[in-house]
Structure 1
């Protein structure tokens, strides 16, 4: 009996250190932040006083918050299209044999390389590329006779957000592609061979073997990508700081501005709580949808 009890308890003992660390550095601070969101406090008056849901009322009545939420949602949708769907296509193409090994190595390295660059470097680099008239994009448009399409890419409301989002896709699609390549290589080659014997082409092999074979990896990478899209801050702050006219404001910059510029920390805590709830809800929805499938 004691031996059986020990066998049951042993797995939990292995998991216990991770649970302690999660409780201390993730769940504990998250709960504490939710409590702080119910108070009006600042760095100059850290004791604060209880205001209930007033911070949330102020948050949901602020049009800048809704603009930020829309931008984060757009960020998430485009990120899933590029960092998950397009990255999977790239990975399958590189492993399909249509490129020789040298070209495959060259493409894989060149596409993966941006993901190891620091965010600040990437932001400053693309700020220079987007510069009107002297930037690389406008120079290429002028050289090809398309100068009519030149824009102040980061200075116009209709182009600023898309410009920032595409920088993230340039940086992280290659990283996701490498992860998908690892997942695809774990698929038994016999499945591809069976389809080839039945006359299936590469596209059919992709949809009937590759896509189902990387289903779990796709779920995990989709959740990670959406989490990243709703927590994004650094690249936006480096390139535009939420401008022009809040056109690139996201929840992260909105929270930062409230906490460290306007010193309304209770409002900032409410914003952080909303980010946390959205991330958790999206994760549970993705997992539930995958289980139903």
Structure 2
């Protein structure tokens, strides 16, 4: 396994997947949830929550097929949009090139999971006593400072949970890759889950597949333990 270049490609793709997911589905979702919950209109807040949650109600397989057609080089929506904007030089076969395939899959996954993370953070923010925000407003504290001094500290439990779930999920990616590229082109979009499947059920090398599964387990459990340790340390400091 250590001498297998495809294994290292898959592992690096999972790491990219995890980093982008933490930035978008944790940091970005928390910021968006704070903006939504800061709106005065309850009706508008409800509409925005529902709107952002809609992609999460779509299965990964359906979302993968949807984006497969969006990325289609001849009739796809993305290249058509670039053409209409006069950016013809940027059009390409997004899922057919080694340097863009995995990023196209990652972008689809963020779109599909972003709303769910936002909704969870919105629930966490709703549990924060409104008196804290009222007191901050009386003291003349601005919106950004409220976010840093009130929202972020009091949603750290949800943030820690979302970090663990997001990172663990990033190392168990399978459906979207199989639907959109099957690991191609030239194995450039392989992740550990798809390479495990191909090793075990296509090449019938179940021993190698078990080794990959062990790596997935070790990586996810180590990252979860680190996050739990860090979260406990932060609770002690607070």
Q: TM-score range by the shorter chain?
A: over 0.9
User: Equivalents in 2 of 1:289, 1:61: separation in Å?
Assistant: 33
Q: Which of the residues 223, 236, 240 maps onto 2:181?
A: 240
Is 1:201 aligned to residue 142 of structure 2?
A: yes
1:96 match: 38
SS for the counterpart of 1:256 is helix
The residue that corresponds to 1:188 in the other structure is 129
2:100 is paired with a residue whose SS is: helix
The equivalent of 1:79 in structure 2 is 21
Deviation at 1:151, TM superposition (A): 1.4
1:116 Cα deviation from its structure 2 partner: 1.1
Residue from 216, 219, 223 that aligns with 2:160: 219
Tell me, yes or no, if structure 1 residue 268 matches structure 2 residue 209.
yes
Question: Number of residues paired by the alignment?
Answer: 234
Unaligned 5+ segments in structure 2 are none
Cα deviation 1:2-55 (Å, max 9, x = unaligned):
xxxxxxxxxxxxxxxxxxxxxxxxxxxxxxxxxxxxxxxxxxxxxxxxxxxxxx
Show the counterpart of 1:110: 51
Of 119, 143, 147, 1:178 maps to: 119
Structure 1 runs not aligned, ≥5 long: 1-58
Q: Deviation per CA, 1:202-255, whole angstroms, max 9, x where unpaired?
A: 111011000001001100011000000001111111100101111110000010
Deviations 1:171-230 (A, max 9, x none): 001001000011000011111111111111111101100000100110001100000000
> Which 4+ residue blocks in structure 1 deviate beyond 6 angstroms?
none
In 2: Cα distance, 1:195 partner to 1:277 partner: 44
- Structure 1 segment 1-293 matched on structure 2, within 5 A: 59-97=1-39, 100-293=41-234
